[in-house]
Structure 1
Amino acid sequence: MPGFSRRELLLGSAGLATAFAAGGLGARQAQAADHALTLASLDHQILPDAVTRSMMSFAPDGPPPVLRFKQGRKAAIDVHNALDEVSTVHWHGFRIPNGMDGVPYLTQYPIEAGKTFRYEFTPPDAGTFWYHPHCNTLEQMARGLTGVMIVEEKEDPGFDQDLPLNIRDFRLDGDGQFIEFFKARNAARGGTYGTVATVNWKVAPTYDLPAGGLVRLRLAVTDLTRVGTYELAGGDAKVIALDSNPLPAPVPARDLILAPGQRADIALRVPDSEDKVVRLLLKRPNGDKELCSFQPVGQSAGRDLKELKPLPPNPVPEPDLANAEVLEFVFGWSPEGDAPQASICGTLGYTFWSINRTAWPGDLPGPFDPLATMKQGKSYILRLRNESPNDHPIHLHGLSFKLLRSNKRQLPPLVTDTALLLEEETMDVALVADNPGDWAFHCHVIEHQKTGLAGFLRVDG
């Protein structure tokens, strides 16, 4: 029998047996995976005439690949860790078994350097999702570990082209090299912004699209910090889905607020003429920034947005509001500010934030108590109260919830996994606790998450 590793000593033999059952590669390795990812360091050009050293990707030779799945079809993904540190992969927005969720110690061991872990699941929902590490999260994501996932509907929705857009900043200096990934004073406020805006690891790229065609643009904001307002200028475009769930009716693609972790599917009717370029803009008080552009090419296909069928709703259960139990959560500063405990998954060295006056101590074996325990199959209303003057995109793993009401604005009845909680806002959301396990619950401004604004909810099966 091989010697025990540090993670096995930390978790004990019971946890070891569970982890092997959940995803360690053994006899099942004989069956080929649908996707294979390699966590690797690489040098890559982001800025013109500069190669950024020590980036990280899910491929050894370029940006993270776009992963495509079929709704309702089982998939296997082999993740090989070629880094010199541990990691995991979380599948953001997927309602899948808890053991496949990719949260260190809560659902699996960190994947050690040189090791491979197989994730297996069946995506129940169609739409746009993304994936990223949940171990040494800030640095690994800051170096490049964010990728887009697409789950295709069972029936073709009728687009001529499907284009994923991985929207994120990097913190680089003028020579294209990384600068400090965060500043403590910013982590205690809104977070530390990147310096170079990219789409699919490129600065202001141009994409050729079929003139007069219908294109599905999949915006995935995988940034660590930025809450932005986006607009498509120069074309007829409608938002058809947010956070993987279809909208009741399409809305114009302007003044679209997206926070870290959120996604938007936009149906674009490409202009007929090649001189009519469409631009994706980040709206800013000091001048809009062009993130990328879309160039019509060829003879016009003459299509119309009215040709598109409405996207089918995902099979998310409808909560029973009349019998739902209310659970309250307060998001604010840490009452003590003690430094977090050391972890092989990294720490920023500060504690600024908390949920229900309790700061998450870091990615450790625990055991820890859940913020709340829910009974499987029961409906709940989560009352999210933000006591701070900063925005918090609140993400819940493994479950989807419905927006109900806010004390500050009118909320559409959208289904999501990531809700932007504005400063001093109280928001009610509802869900059915249909997926058993311990589910991470945190702010997706990564500096907030890693300095205390995290915890987990338990669904008791």
Structure 2
Amino acid sequence: MLNRRHFLKTGLATGSAVLGGGTFGLLASQASATPDLVLKPRIIDQNILGHNPTKNVFSYNASGPAPILRAKQGELFHVRLENKLPEPTTIHWHGLRLSNAMDGVPFVTQPYIYENETFDYIFTPPDAGTYWYHPHCNTLEQMSYGLTGVLIVDEKEAPDFDADVTLNLRDWRLGSDGQFINLYKARKSARAGTFGTVKTTNWEENPVYDVPSGGIIRLRAVVSDVTRIFKLKTEGADATVIALDGYPVPKHFPLNHQAVGPGQRIDIALRMPDEEGKEVKLINASSSKAWTVATLRSQGASLKRDIRDLRPLPRNPVPVPDLKNAEHIPFEFTATAESAPKNGFCGTIGFSFWAINRKAWLGVSPDPMAPLAELKLGKSYVFSFRNRTPHTHPIHLHGLSFTLLNSNKRQIDPFVTDTALVLPDERMDVAFVADNPGDWLLHCHIIEHQKTGMSSFIRIT
């Protein structure tokens, strides 16, 4: 078994190591010793229900939710993690194409960051858009307790919006006293996952945000929940989808019950009413009873913007796969016989239910299991995702972005993404260029599914 001492001896990744070259790397000498910011995850009390502070909340802030981080496309970004939790953690920068050493997966790309230890994450994001960050260690517990945040990578030239509102969507498993209850139930883990009891946006129930009357608003929604798949619509104004999972869509389309699962992001644009005090609601309609996710309220004299002035976002520089010469590799997502798992480096929830290609990967160490696929650097590939279960799975690939090609169940638009919602009994083909070397996780982002076997990794050399 790969242990921490052996990992450090190999020199695969440390906060001060050479981070690689090419598109996704930089030399350590290029990085300033002073980080752009310092994140200090810790345990806090937080008043979520409004009447009794919840104890044992995890946050990257001294109070309240994690800060919204902003980086600039094509510019160096340096974050120092100082762990103040009484357990190890890391940061995974979800959706970003960055060097493998910065991906934040314990004992695959870096060692644990123990209490009072530090690690420097240094990278240059090649793509603009909406991304997020979260631990990849004791993932279910740490994310369920609150440890998620949003990262925005701004375009080189700022788009012409009158307001930019970010929404971090997540549930909490709280009792009526405001305290945490069991984070999961085994019978739920073997199905769609265990849903929360309190639904929040930026840690509030139905928050209200004042934005300019008659203005064009960019609304970014990030599903950092560990289970819930949203279906989003608006009331009070029409909305247009302009980006999914950080990447501009090829053609704008109306927001109409758009499915957005754990790990996914959606950027929408809308024009606010001209009259002051009017409300536009973002609604989730994924359950039998719809509810308001957040409310925008018009403020001030109308800017009298014309939604037809909205221009497409600039395309991110993702390489186009060579479909004629691409190699096809199948991945089957299945249930598996329940069994007690071996101990993983980042904890276990006590059982396995799920598998990829009939293998349940229960830890985050690549030993003793080999990668499910070994890819050649620079070559094009088509992955065939085959969901042989009665549940939808948001399948996330680290370090790379892929283009949706086709499905046996629905019409697929050629969106570029890092997380695909694969429906029950669906076969979905996705394509990409293997241009980023390293070991990259491939897993379901319903975290109970990930932690009970629906996870593995690929290797690019």
Match of residue 351 from structure 2: 350
How much is the aligned-residue C-alpha RMSD, in angstroms? Answer: 1.8
CA shift, 1:341, in A, is 1.9
The one of 6, 9, 12 aligned to 1:13: 9
Match of residue 217 from structure 1: 219
Distance change >3 Å, CA 17–CA 442, structure 1 → 2 = closer
Match of residue 308 from structure 1: 310
Match of residue 444 from structure 1: 445
CA shift, 1:340, in A, is 2.0
Question: Aligned AA for 1:90?
Answer: H
Indicate the SS of the match to 1:331. strand
Match of residue 33 from structure 1: 35
Match of residue 265 from structure 1: 267
Provide the rounded CA distance (Å) in 1 between the counterparts of 2:132 and 2:34. Answer: 23
Indicate the SS of the match to 1:352. strand
Q: Within the alignment, does 1:166 sit opposite 2:162 as a pair?
A: no
Provide the rounded CA distance (Å) in 2 between the counterparts of 1:443 and 1:328. Answer: 16
CA shift, 1:274, in A, is 2.5
Match of residue 360 from structure 1: 361
The one of 241, 248, 262 aligned to 1:246: 248
Moved more, 64-73 or 14-23: 14-23
Instruction: Give 1:177-216 correspondences, 5 Å limit.
Output: 177-216=179-218
The one of 54, 58, 72 aligned to 1:70: 72
Provide the rounded CA distance (Å) in 1 between the counterparts of 2:269 and 2:32. Answer: 41
Instruction: Give 1:11-410 correspondences, 5 Å limit.
Output: 11=7, 13-15=9-11, 21=17, 31-334=33-336, 336-364=337-365, 366-410=367-411
- Provide Cα deviations, 1:355-386, integer angstroms capped at 9, x if missing partner: 00111031236243111011011000000101
Unaligned runs of 5+ in 2: 20-27
Question: Aligned AA for 1:289?
Answer: W
Match of residue 422 from structure 1: 423
CA shift, 1:113, in A, is 0.7
Provide the rounded CA distance (Å) in 2 between the counterparts of 1:179 and 1:160. Answer: 41
Indicate the SS of the match to 1:148. strand
Distance change >3 Å, CA 27–CA 53, structure 1 → 2 = farther
Distance change >3 Å, CA 17–CA 427, structure 1 → 2 = closer
Indicate the SS of the match to 2:40. strand
Distance change >3 Å, CA 240–CA 16, structure 1 → 2 = closer
Provide the rounded CA distance (Å) in 2 between the counterparts of 1:108 and 1:124. Answer: 22
TM-score, normalised relative to structure 1: 0.95
Provide the rounded CA distance (Å) in 2 between the counterparts of 1:124 and 1:29. Answer: 16
Question: Aligned AA for 1:59?
Answer: N
- Provide Cα deviations, 1:212-249, integer angstroms capped at 9, x if missing partner: 11111001011100112111111132110001111122
CA shift, 1:30, in A, is 6.8
Provide the rounded CA distance (Å) in 2 between the counterparts of 1:27 and 1:40. Answer: 30
Provide the rounded CA distance (Å) in 2 between the counterparts of 1:352 and 1:244. Answer: 31
Question: Aligned AA for 1:366?
Answer: D
Q: Answer whether contact 2:16 2:120 (CA < 8 A) is retained.
A: no
- Provide Cα deviations, 1:64-116, integer angstroms capped at 9, x if missing partner: 00000000001110001000000110000000000000011110001111101
Provide the rounded CA distance (Å) in 2 between the counterparts of 1:80 and 1:17. Answer: 17
CA shift, 1:333, in A, is 1.3
- Provide Cα deviations, 1:156-193, integer angstroms capped at 9, x if missing partner: 11011111100111111111111100000110111000
CA shift, 1:286, in A, is 2.8
Q: Answer whether contact 2:440 2:458 (CA < 8 A) is retained.
A: yes
Distance change >3 Å, CA 86–CA 28, structure 1 → 2 = farther
Q: Answer whether contact 1:93 1:417 (CA < 8 A) is retained.
A: yes
Q: Answer whether contact 1:19 1:109 (CA < 8 A) is retained.
A: no
Provide the rounded CA distance (Å) in 1 between the counterparts of 2:217 and 2:8. Answer: 51
Question: Aligned AA for 1:422?
Answer: L
Question: Aligned AA for 2:426?
Answer: E
Moved more, 385-394 or 362-371: 362-371
Match of residue 3 from structure 1: none
Provide the rounded CA distance (Å) in 1 between the counterparts of 2:244 and 2:126. Answer: 16
- Provide Cα deviations, 1:316-368, integer angstroms capped at 9, x if missing partner: 0111101110001100012x433222245211011111100111031236243
Indicate the SS of the match to 1:322. helix
CA shift, 1:443, in A, is 0.2
Indicate the SS of the match to 2:80. strand
Identity of aligned residues (%): 52
Indicate the SS of the match to 2:339. coil
Q: Answer whether contact 2:174 2:197 (CA < 8 A) is retained.
A: yes
Indicate the SS of the match to 2:141. helix
Question: Aligned AA for 1:313?
Answer: R
Indicate the SS of the match to 1:50. coil
Q: Answer whether contact 1:35 1:67 (CA < 8 A) is retained.
A: no
CA shift, 1:276, in A, is 2.4
Distance change >3 Å, CA 442–CA 402, structure 1 → 2 = same
Moved more, 114-123 or 285-294: 285-294
Q: Answer whether contact 2:12 2:101 (CA < 8 A) is retained.
A: no
Provide the rounded CA distance (Å) in 2 between the counterparts of 1:398 and 1:17. Answer: 15
Question: Aligned AA for 1:13?
Answer: K
Indicate the SS of the match to 1:337. strand
Distance change >3 Å, CA 384–CA 16, structure 1 → 2 = closer
Q: Answer whether contact 2:13 2:110 (CA < 8 A) is retained.
A: no
Question: Aligned AA for 1:446?
Answer: I
Provide the rounded CA distance (Å) in 1 between the counterparts of 2:373 and 2:349. Answer: 26
CA shift, 1:32, in A, is 1.3
Q: Answer whether contact 1:236 1:270 (CA < 8 A) is retained.
A: no
TM-score, normalised relative to structure 2: 0.95
Indicate the SS of the match to 1:21. coil
Provide the rounded CA distance (Å) in 1 between the counterparts of 2:369 and 2:326. Answer: 26
Question: Aligned AA for 1:103?
Answer: V
Q: Answer whether contact 2:13 2:111 (CA < 8 A) is retained.
A: no
Provide the rounded CA distance (Å) in 2 between the counterparts of 1:16 and 1:286. Answer: 48
